[in-house]
Amino acid sequence: MSAQHPDPAPGFDPEIVAGASAAQRAAADPAASVFVEANAGSGKTRVLVDRVARLLLGGAAPERILCVTFTKAAAGEMQSRLFRKLGAWSTLPDDALREEMAALTGGAGAPGDLAAARRLLARALETPGGLKIQTLHAFCESLLRRFPLEAGLAPGFEVQDEAAASALRAEALEAVYGQAASDPDGELARAIASALEAAGADAPDDIAAFALGRRHELSDCLEAAGSAGALMDRASAALKAAPDDDEASALETAWDETPLEDLEAALSALQSGGSATEVRSAAALDGVLDAATRSGEEAITAYLDWVLTREGKVKQPKSLYGKALGERYRILATLYGPDGNERHRITDEVLPAIARARANAATRAALRIALAAVSAYEARLNRLGRVDFADLVVRARVLLTQSELGAWVRYKLDAGLDHVLVDEAQDTAPDQWAVVNALTGEFFAGDGAREAGDLRTVFCVGDEKQSIYSFQKADPKQFLDQRTKLEAEAAGAGLAFASPALDASFRSAPEVLRAVDEAFAAEAAALGAPERKDAASLLEHKLLMTDPETETPRDALPFHRYVPHRAARQGMPGCVEIWPAVPRPEAPEEDSLDDYGPLDAVTDASARNQLADAVAGEIADLIARGDAVWEEGAPWRRRPATAGDVLVLVRSRSGGLFEEIIRRLKIRGVPVAGADRMTLPDQLVVEDLLSLARFLLLPEDDLSLAEVLKSPLFHPVSSPDPVIDDDALYDLTRRPGRRLWEKLRHTDDPRFTEARAALDALRGQVETRAPYALFAGFLTGASAGGESRLARIYARLGEEARDPAEEFLSRALAHEREGAPSLARFAAALSADSGQIKREMEAGRGEVRVMTVHGAKGLEAPIVFLPDTTSLPRPRRGGLYPHREAGLIWAPDSSAPPALVQSMKERADLDQDGEYNRLLYVALTRARDR
């Protein structure tokens, strides 16, 4: 009879906790510089907070500690955790505080430690400057404000927000077009014309956007080259093309090298054939030779049209001539057979040369546009005395590492820093690492490496598997390179270094972690395979590729290391459900033209809407059923799930699934927090207010007035149905009058009484009140029903309308502060604003959170839905690629890219696939229970 083992009580596995605690204490030990690679949920933030606490306990001055992280939310969380810990120490009884000290340090706290620990909170709060816990961008801003002249900035410079940056980018692009228009025969105008011909109407805008997103790298390349012409020559050299190569010259050269006598012999052979294929070939080749009497470009174009397939490959012999004719006339096989001379020449020489020439001409045009856009944008920044978000880190890096005064600035900083801690290190970009390395370089050099007891340390913690910000230039490989660098520096200075692994997860149930490890089992196996050391084998298995610019091998796997997870939770089972994919419904048969609706209409039967409805239905059902989730406490207990316990993660906000899930949840009455990021002009409340602005500026705008009348602005909270509905508007439009405003002013319909009076009064204020006063007074003032119009908006559109409404008023106030406020300018600027606004989606709101995986970084929830797991990354479009020497390479013809561009595309695709897998890892590890 076997023994019965009861299930363990809910809690954490003591053995795993003991091992994890030892690793965490080693990571928090202030006697060594530490680099921590940690799995998700292993307590990264706790370790960092513990290390700061131990530094303070050891006597480190609060003002000499710098903690930098990736987001403001993470910095705020880190600071609040630290102050909660220090605050608790100041009030704990002696015995409890001794236990706390022992758990923190791994040994018993001495009596003297207690008094010091109780004073730490006051010490941290009262120290001038206090603890520096901030984002790296915030630190760089404070550095530049401290040394503005050394950084080449005006004292009191302004950091412009994304909305202002977006407006300035649009203004810079308009200036580029204006410059081209003022000189139609100039180089810039020709470059824009070339870009338009190569890739269509959006090409110049796309090039400018690409360049402005990488303007510092482009400026560095320009400075290194010495001039715009030299930079373009670098691009030509990278493409292995001559500076003046273009498609026309490549075609002329190709024709000049074509064996004309052989073509005439081939024509004679084809004319003797009788099959339809041979007749068509003879006619085509005769046309080629006829075109040669006019121009080589026309001849080679006709020749390639005949020889090549639509896919750009040389046709098979049977598509050019019959087998019998080929055996009778060997010239045909010599030219176009499987080993034919012309087949090889066209494939190996002509087509690559044309591709290089096209890319060369396109790249030189793109560089001309890019440099003009960057110059126009930076001129406006300088005129306004502003820097943008990207400037902060780059200018700080230049100040610390390249400026003539850099040594003096580093000396001043070095006297004020002893300990630097970097959180979320896997998201740190190269420029950011350069700033960190400049700050810490003296820690390991000369007198900077101080005696024991006055140590200076660096602490970095991150998880390569959670590196998902490549669009901000984060590179997981550099994260690991920094570990090697820090270890070497510490060894060179004779200082202690540690790299404890944190692989135990305290967040997720064992079932969830097993699913994560199984999802990446193939990658983990490849990383651990002995043959990974064999480059030839790696190439064969496509696990390694050559970097197209440096010709050095780079890993193509999503991770460079994968450490399986250990679940610390026990007695708290979890669940992983995999739903079948929703099949694409068959299109219904249409009986007549009347049955056809809009071509882009999405029906409820669509796969997307079925999936959204299934997700919303399951969320509603699990809340109604009272499905249990685990709640942390002493002891752990189960409780019914609420809407706030659910997190829905998608890869992208585009495509409709994101909005559809939110809509379906609202239909089912499930509390939902709305979108985590928003583009202001796309929000319903802002659309209504912009319609109001357009009507006030132009009363003849019937559409805008109709939109205002149908909006919540004239929908009383007490009325279940709109007072002004479609029927009311239809009745109004039938009244006499040319314009809708004229009809509204003269109607006696009681449904329009409030709207007529309110709009008439508002129009009288347009010339006398600035936009903020105009809108704030209208929205917050009492309506005919007694409630404010903001209250009407929130009642109709939900609480998620609060953020965009408040941001709209904030933008109006900011517009007034800029000087010369104008309703027309404000409405135009806001309508063109494409910048995104982030809404904080912290837990505890009691609502379902629907977010992208990027937005959910650092968050967790008991129940996580991943409905967007079957769509693959979109292939890179546009043919624009960054190049470390030329700034950029542009090859808009994706059907026949040159070799450099093809290798760049493959590299970019592999990097994109790697981040796609890392996104999945982040999404899976947000879940605690299910």
Instruction: Tell me the pairing of strands 457-462 and 33-37.
Output: parallel
**Among the residues of 214-318, which ranges form H helices?**
215-225, 228-238, 247-256, 260-271, 276-292, 296-307
Is the pLDDT confidence value at 112 over 70? no
Q: Check pLDDT > 60 for residue 448.
A: no
User: Would strands 419-422 and 65-69 be described as parallel, antiparallel, or unpaired?
Assistant: parallel
- Strand 544-546 and strand 880-883: pairing? unpaired
CA-to-CA separations, 176 to 170, 192, 204, 833, in angstroms, rounded = 10, 10, 10, 19
**Has residue 32 got a pLDDT over 80?**
yes
Residue-level pLDDT at 803: 81
Fill in the DSSP letter of residue 892.
-
pLDDT of residue 303: 92
Per-residue pLDDT tens digits for 623-681: 999 999 998 776 788 999 999 999 999 998 877 888 899 889 988 989 988 777 778 88
CA distances from 784 to 325, 426, 693, 717, 788 (A): 92, 56, 21, 11, 9
**388-430 per-position pLDDT tens digit:** 888 999 999 999 888 788 788 887 776 678 899 999 899 888 8
CB count in 10 Å sphere of residue 264: 13
Tell which wins on pLDDT, 619 or 132.
619
Q: Given a cut of 50, is residue 1 above it in pLDDT?
A: no
* Average pLDDT of the segment spanning 854-866: 91
Is residue 279 a contact partner of residue 285, using CB atoms and an 8 Å limit? no
pLDDT for the residue numbered 633? 74
pLDDT-based confidence at residue 544 (cuts at 50, 70, 90): very low
Q: How far apart are CA 733 and CA 689, in angstroms?
A: 22
Q: Give the whole-angstrom CA distance, residue 375 versus residue 471.
A: 23
Mean pLDDT of the chain: 85
pLDDT tier at 537 (50, 70, 90 boundaries)?
A: very low
Can you tell me whether residue 133 is helix, strand or coil? strand
Residue 115 CA, chain-centre distance (Å), reads 47
- On the question of pLDDT at 532 being above 60, the answer is no
Beta-carbon neighbour count of residue 294 at 10 Å? 9
What's the one-letter identity of residue 520?
F
- Report the share of the chain in percent with pLDDT over 90: 37
| DSSP-derived 3-state class of residue 162 | helix
DSSP string for residues in 783-829: -TTSSBHHHHHHHHH-GGGHHHHHHHHHHHHHHHHTSS--HHHHHHH
DSSP state of 568: -
Which of the given ranges, 197-201, 325-329, 864-868, has the highest pLDDT on average? 864-868
Q: How far apart are CA 227 and CA 468, in angstroms?
A: 35
Q: What pLDDT sits at residue 604? A: 66
Whether residue 449 contacts residue 456, with contact meaning beta carbons closer than 8 Å, is answered with yes
Which residues make Cβ contacts (< 8 Å) with residue 848, sequence separation at least 6? 619, 643, 644, 646, 647, 648, 665, 670, 671, 672, 673
pLDDT at 602 over 70: no
> Can you tell me the distance from the alpha carbon of 468 to that of 472, in angstroms, rounded to the nearest whole number?
9
**pLDDT at residue 125 above 70?**
yes
- How much is the CA Rg of the chain, to the nearest whole Å? 33
pLDDT at 117 over 90: no
What distance, in Å, lies between the first and last C-alpha atoms of the chain? 35
The full DSSP string for 435-497 is: HHHHHHGGGGSGGGSPPTTS--EEEEEE-GGG---GGGT--HHHHHHHHHHHHHHHHHTT--E
Q: What percent of the chain is predicted at pLDDT more than 70?
A: 90
Instruction: Write out the H or E segment, with its range, that includes residue 419.
Output: strand 419-422
pLDDT above 50: residue 540: no
- pLDDT tens digit string along 712-759? 888 888 777 788 888 888 888 887 778 888 888 888 888 888 888 889
Confidence of residue 896 (pLDDT cuts 50, 70, 90): confident
Residue 74 pLDDT class (50, 70, 90 cuts): confident
Q: Are 35 and 499 in contact (CB under 8 A)?
A: yes
Reply yes or no on whether the pLDDT at 266 is more than 50: yes
- DSSP lists the bridge partners of residue 650 as 852
Cα 510 from Cα 219, distance rounded (Å): 50
Question: Omega into 30 within 30° of 0, i.e. cis?
Answer: no
pLDDT exceeds 60 at position 885: yes
577 pLDDT tier (thresholds 50, 70, 90): very high
Any residues with CB less than 8 A from the CB of 662 and at least 6 apart, and which?
Answer: 672, 674, 675, 850
Tell me, what's the pLDDT at 545? 43
Q: Tell me the C-alpha distance between 269 and 793, whole Å.
A: 81
Residue 881: closest CA among 218, 165, 190? 218
Residues 6+ apart with CB under 8 A from 833: 163, 166, 167, 679, 680, 681
Phi and psi at residue 848, to the nearest 5°? -65, 135
Average pLDDT over every residue of 550-556 = 50
Chain Cα centroid distance, residue 592: 45
- Give the Cα separation of 304 and 313 in Å (integer): 10
- pLDDT tens-place string over residues 360-376: 999 999 999 999 999 99
Tokens describing residue 269: 């052979």
Q: Is the pLDDT of residue 4 over 70?
A: no
CB atoms within 10 A of CB 168: 20
